[in-house]
Copies of this chain bind each other. A is one copy, B any other.
C-alpha cells in the first residue's frame, strides 16, 4: 500500500491549518452514512472496516511527504511541524462488516480531536464506500444464484490494482467462493481459481492438444475453455478426451463457456456431455454476466454450475458509486447540522436499533440519539478506542459468516432483488434536536 498521509484532499490540510491557528482542537464526532439507496439496491452490505482501521492505526506523514508539502509552498512551516507528529488517537464505532443496512443509518462514527477527525475524511470514504459498493453488488449476485460456485474474475477491468484486490475481498465477504486475483488470494486467504485464456488455445495447433496439455501438466481436475472457435465442437473434443485422461488418472472438472447465447450453449453442451456419460463434468460460464442474468438462468433451470463474474462485479457497473457522506454531527459538546438543500443531515451522535419479525427477518430500524433508550438490536459496536483496535474484532471468515446470516434475515422481496422496503424511523429525540437547532441561533448541546 502506498504512503497514506497524502491520500487526502488538499482542502483537509487547508482546514487543519486554520484549526491549528485557532486552537480548534476539541472533540468532534463525524458520521459516515449513505444518504439514499438507488432503485437498483434494496439494501447495502457494510464492508471495508478492517482497511479503515488499518489506515487509522498507521496514519502518519512520512519525511518524503512532509518535504513535498514544504516545497509546495501551500502551507506554513509552523503548521507542517504539527503534521510530523500527528497520529489518530480517537474512537471508532461502526457496524461490523457483513451487516445489512439502509439509507441514513450511520455505518461508522469517528470521535476524535477535530483536526484528526477532519483529516481522515477522504480516505475513510474512499475505503468504506468502495468495499460497501462491491459487497452490496456481490450480495445481489449471491442471492441470484443460490448453490452456484461464484468466482471473481474482475481485476483486469477493476479501477486499478487496489480496486481489484479489495473487490475480491468484498465479494468473498458477501459469499463468493473464490477469486482469480492471486494478490487477493495471498493477502486475504481467499481460494484462488482460474482456467485458461483463448490465447492458450490459439497458441496450440489444435484444441485437443491444448486441453490435453493443460490437464496432464496440472495433474488436477481441469476446467477447459471451449468457445475459442466452435463451442459444441470443442465440447465433443473434450468428451472424446475425457476417457483417455481418466485412464491416466486425470480428470476434466468442467468446461467453460465465454461467448454467445450462454443458456443455449449450456443446454447443447450438457447434452453432448451427458450423451458421453460424462454427467460429472460441470459447466462454468463467464462473459459480461450480472445478477439479473444469473437469476434468469437459475429460474429457467439452465444447466450451468458456476459463474465467473468480472466487470459487472468489480465496477458495480449499474451503480458505480453510492451517495455516501461523512458529516460533522457534534463539535465541542454541541450538536451540528448541515441544512444544504437536498443534503440536510440529522444532527447528534446516533445509534441504529434493529427489530425483527417473529420469523427472524428484518422488520424495521430506528435511528436514535445515543442517549435515547430505544428497544432493538444495536448495530454499531466499538471498533477502536484511543487509536487502537479493540480486542476481538472479527476475522474475514467471521464477517463472511455474518454476511450470510444477514442475507438470510432479509425480507423476501429484498432477497428477490426488489427495491428498498425496510422502514428506517428517525427517533423523536433526533427530530426535536434538529428542530431546536433550526430554531435557535446557536448550536445546541450535544449528547
Contact = CB atoms under 8 A, between A and B. Distances in A.
Nearest to A16: B200
User: Which residue of A8, A9, A214, A341 has the most chain B CB atoms within 10 A of its CB atom?
Assistant: A9
A217 B18 contact: yes
This chain's copy number in the assembly: 2
Contacts of A200: 15, 18, 118
User: Which residue of A15, A121, A166, A261 has the most chain B CB atoms within 10 A of its CB atom?
Assistant: A15
B203 A331 contact: yes
A158 B315 CA distance: 10
Interface string A1-15: 111001111111111
User: Which residue of A1, A18, A125, A316 has the most chain B CB atoms within 10 A of its CB atom?
Assistant: A18
Given A186-B68, A260-B341, A157 B195 contact: no
A13 B342 CA distance: 51
Interface residues of A, number: 103
Interface stretch (A95-103, A223-231, A349-357, A367-375): A223-231
Interface in A167-192: 167, 180-183, 185-186, 192
A33 B213 CA distance: 29
A398 interface: no
Given A182-B6, A198-B327, A21 B217 contact: yes
A248 interface: no
Interface string A201-231: 0110100000001100110000000011111
Interface in A147-176: 153, 155-167
A24 interface: yes
A85 interface: no
A197 interface: yes
A431 B24 CA distance: 71
Given A22-B213, A72-B185, A339-B228, A11 B195 contact: yes
A258 B340 contact: yes
Contacts of A307: none
Nearest to A134: B159
Interface string A21-65: 110100010100000000000000000000000000000000001
Nearest to A13: B182
A259 interface: yes
A401 interface: no
A17 interface: yes
Contact of A74 (B192, B214, B260, B338): B192
Interface stretch (A292-300, A317-325, A386-394): A317-325
A122 interface: yes
A170 to B, nearest CB: 11
21 contacts: A7-B161, A8-B183, A10-B194, A14-B218, A24-B203, A28-B199, A28-B203, A72-B192, A118-B197, A121-B199, A122-B156, A129-B157, A133-B159, A198-B338, A199-B336, A228-B339, A259-B341, A260-B340, A260-B341, A261-B341, A315-B321
Interface of A: 1-3, 6-15, 17-19, 21-22, 24, 28, 30, 65, 68-69, 72, 74, 114, 118, 121-123, 125-127, 129-130, 133, 153, 155-167, 180-183, 185-186, 192-200, 202-203, 205, 213-214, 217-218, 227-231, 258-261, 311, 314-317, 320-321, 324, 327-328, 331, 336-343, 442-443
